[in-house]
Chain A
Amino acid sequence: MRFAETGFNLEVDLSRGNIDRVETDPRMTELYLGGLGTNAKILWDRVPPETEPFSEDNLLIFSTGLLCGTAAPGCNRTIVSTFSPQTRLMAYSMMGGFWAPELKHAGYDKVIISGQSPALVYLWIDNDKVEIRDASHLRGKGAIETAECIRSELKDPNVQVAAIGLAGENRVFFASIEQGRSSASRGGVGAVMGDKGLKAIAVRGTKDVNVARPAEFMNLCNDVLKYIKAREENPVPGVMPILAGLGSPQEMKLVDEEWHTTNFMWGNSRTRRKDFWNKEIEEKWRETQENVRTRLISCYNCPMKCGATISVPGIATYMMKCFSKLTYTMAAYSDLDFGFKIAQRATEYGVDGFSAPQVMAFGLELLEAGILTDADVQGMPADNEGRFFWLLDRIVRREGIGDVLADGTYWAARRIGKGAEAFDHNTIKKHEQLPLKLGMLNPVYFLMYATGEKINITQIEGQFPQAPFPTREEREEFVKDWIQVPDEKFKQYLLDWEPRGDHSNPYYPTVEASCDIVDWQEKMHYIDDALGTCAGLSSFPLKPPYHIHNFPDFISAATGFDFDEARLWQAATRTRTLLRAINVRLGLRRADDKPPENHWKKRFPELEAKLLDEYYKLKGWNDQGIPTRESLHELELDYVGEDLQQRGILSDG
């Protein structure tokens, strides 16, 4: 018997209509754990770098994490992996909610989609019974609407549905996959799903998920719950409210948006409005939010409540989480009320809440600059908010200018030309980023933005405070119960980090310390993505319940494999390195490892080069950011080294 995992993947070839249940090799679990780790292994083995993202040969993998479906609180992530049409690198995307545990209970660890269906279909997984079903009646339907239709046609409210909207069907490069309160939004995974002719995957499972050492495992789960309770009663002092507790940033619960609205940029990541927030706005926004928010809701087996049901009078109810309430609002220099309204339509269409608003703001900037003309936007209303709705409608249908913008700012700028390239100023590796423009370079963030394989800052940052505490006393207080650090040296890094003077940004944390901090932060994300743990209880917040010291026990008790910290660290390093290798094989090099040019006003080219050099060294990569044969060998990735050498990407030795 296999523990924690089911030991089976579901292989679905949509070109031929083949469905296979394939047993997996437990050795892969020991090496890559599961989730993102085993996804990466499959992509490396089966999708050669010449593969077009929109083609039969690209795979779209929906994976549970290793601990999904067990009692471990908050282990509910679905990790979606494929090759991205936008970045043309490996796409990393992930969603919470209820889908992954349901798939485990149906008896599968992953669903691997290949081929392309000639007609629009959906997949219905009912334990052992798996069918490809006609979805022509769902064409053009919203993602949430689709899920409701499927649930009612299958007559089972417990069916979990992941679906695309119009954006995915029309292969918009930033199309998402929506699933109730959650979505896999980044990297254009929805577009690949649309290209495969797959409207949705519905799943229902009623089988057991087993663990190897039950009593031990349950004790660990109980400890985590106890810790969550205590931690929620004792928020971290001295940091902004959204970072003081656990979970994703508590955007649905909290109304105070002073920090986001005055620190993040408005428009096409353009204007900082330091004086925006005041009492009047706070009151107005409170009223707006409280009026539309029906209930705070959570994901499977998690006591946090990061999402909310939103009912704006006159439009359909939907669910929201995190930051999307502000991305549209701020891109349009508008109001929270507008944000809630347009997010409903955007959710039904299924678009990424980071990219979509920025792309629209970018389009309007081009119009203002005369690069686009009235002829390009014929029929667009004159009012600001109306324009956003109009552009969104065009983009998801790929009509006129919408067809150009549907490729995202990077590709749209190149298609439009005439200087439009300069307006694409907030992408990394062709992918839109959070709208932030800051003053002084932060060395830790420099490395994370530049090298993060997931091309999204929230998927790499966490654990280590974002800014130094002003006083030594506060720092001492903070490190007192900081049990999550992998090594005592991290406490010293924090104790010595000051807002001003010799021990401040950009030269402190030192190059060495910055590399260590980034390495720790991103490793924890890689572990989460393999196990299916929500980052909100693990790699993202300060002092989380899951950390490097209790994860090995969780994995060992759940799977029966013996993991200690060193072995877990090694497994996370292996996956991290494999992701880099996949991207290297797709052409990624040092020149691509950079943040947006204007992310910081004060830049330090020499220091930045040094940071990259040292970071690559720590990772066992050469000065081009390519993993060396030696480090690949240590990680039991010789097959990767051989391939890179054969392709002439690595030279001998």
Chain B
Amino acid sequence: MAKVKKTVKGITIVADKCNGCRACELICSAFHATPKYSSSNPARSRIRVVREPLRDIYLPVYAGEYTAAECTGRDKYIIDGKEYAECDFCRASCPSRNLFKEPDSGLPLKCDMCEDDPALEKPKCVEWCLNDALIYEERVEEVEEEDVSPGDVEIGVDSLIDKYGLQQVLDTIARASKR
């Protein structure tokens, strides 16, 4: 298969340099407000700083995927003598906690790398972290060309049409999209 070039965006989190100011949370919420910058509210941010000064825990975490079910176990990490809950590192918007959810609607939040038009030079949280705890990097990687053969969903839908007929599947999808 042919190789193509793809830009991968990444943020290095230098937790050692974080001083817990929460500017990253604030600016993320302001950037995503409508109209843009019209309000601030760290509770809506897509980055959260796990911050426990007395235990010297400062851990900026980015919001990742939504998950419908919580993990079964609750493990712990001990790093440099400091105890972290496994959840501290977790990016998921998950039913076990109210992190990474809109405070009013409960809808999941996910970091979108500040997608904007025109594109920003760097994400807002990185720009506002004057302590260099968040460092933005773009690298170009060669990846396999996208597979154009039918994906899982298509395969699944085809199989449903086969089984139930087109009309019934369309009705079901229409109902689901309204929920």
Contacts and interface: CB of A to CB of B under 8 A. Distances in A.
Contacts of B20: 297-298
Contact of B51 (A157, A208, A316): A157
Contacts of A228: 130
Contact of A71 (B26, B35, B54, B58): B26
A105 interface: yes
B38 A71 contact: no
A73 B37 contact: no
B37 A214 contact: yes
A181 B27 CA distance: 23
A210 B39 contact: yes
A303 B130 contact: yes
Contacts of B40: 69-71, 208-209, 211
A181 B128 CA distance: 22
Contacts of A181: 53
A557 B43 CA distance: 23
Interface residues of A, number: 42
Nearest to A215: B37
Interface in B39-76: 39-44, 50-56, 58
A317 B56 CA distance: 9
A332 interface: no
A208 B33 contact: yes
Interface string A167-201: 00000000000001100000000000000000000
B125 interface: no
Contact of B21 (A217, A294, A298): A298
Interface residues of B, number: 32
A9 to B, nearest CB: 20
Interface in B12-39: 19-23, 26-27, 30, 33, 35-39
A181 B44 CA distance: 25
A211 B103 contact: no
A299 B20 CA distance: 8
Contacts of A73: 23
Given A298-B20, A302-B23, 16 more contacts: A70-B40, A71-B26, A71-B40, A98-B22, A157-B51, A210-B39, A214-B35, A214-B36, A214-B37, A229-B130, A296-B19, A298-B21, A301-B22, A301-B26, A305-B19, A319-B54
8 contacts: A71-B40, A73-B23, A105-B42, A206-B103, A207-B103, A215-B36, A228-B130, A297-B53
A309 B53 contact: yes
A239 interface: no
Nearest to B31: A218
B56 A295 contact: yes
B131 interface: yes
Contacts of B103: 206-207
Given A225-B128, A225-B130, A303-B131, A214 B38 contact: yes
A98 B40 CA distance: 15
B130 A180 contact: no
B19 A295 contact: yes
Nearest to B25: A301
Nearest to B51: A157
Interface string A52-75: 000000000000000001110100
A349 interface: no
Interface in A11-48: none
Contacts, number: 93
A300 interface: yes
Contact of B56 (A98, A294, A303): A294
Given A211-B37, A215-B37, A301-B22, A148 B131 contact: no
B56 A71 contact: no
A144 interface: yes
A217 B37 contact: yes
Nearest to A207: B41
B41 A206 contact: yes
A144 B39 contact: no
Interface string A279-313: 00000000000000011111111110100010100
Contacts of B58: 295
A302 B24 CA distance: 10
Given A71-B37, A225-B130, A301 B53 contact: no
Contact of B52 (A157, A206, A218, A318): A157
Contact of B30 (A71, A180, A294, A296): A71
Contacts of A229: 130
A387 to B, nearest CB: 29
Contacts of B30: 71, 214, 218
B54 A148 contact: yes
Most B C-beta atoms less than 10 A away, residue of A208, A225, A295, A309: A208
Interface in A126-169: 144, 148, 157
Contacts of B54: 144, 148, 309, 316-319
Contacts of B36: 214-215
Nearest to B50: A157
A305 B130 CA distance: 11
Contact of B23 (A214, A217, A296, A301): A301
B89 to A, nearest CB: 15
A295 B35 CA distance: 37
A207 B22 CA distance: 16
Contacts of A298: 19-21
A217 B33 CA distance: 14
A308 to B, nearest CB: 10
Contacts of A105: 41-43
Contacts of A316: 54
A225 B130 CA distance: 8
A478 B39 CA distance: 38
A338 B129 CA distance: 35
Nearest to B42: A105
A442 B42 CA distance: 46
Contacts of A211: 37-40
A309 B20 CA distance: 12
A477 B148 CA distance: 67
B39 to A, nearest CB: 4
B38 to A, nearest CB: 4
A453 to B, nearest CB: 31
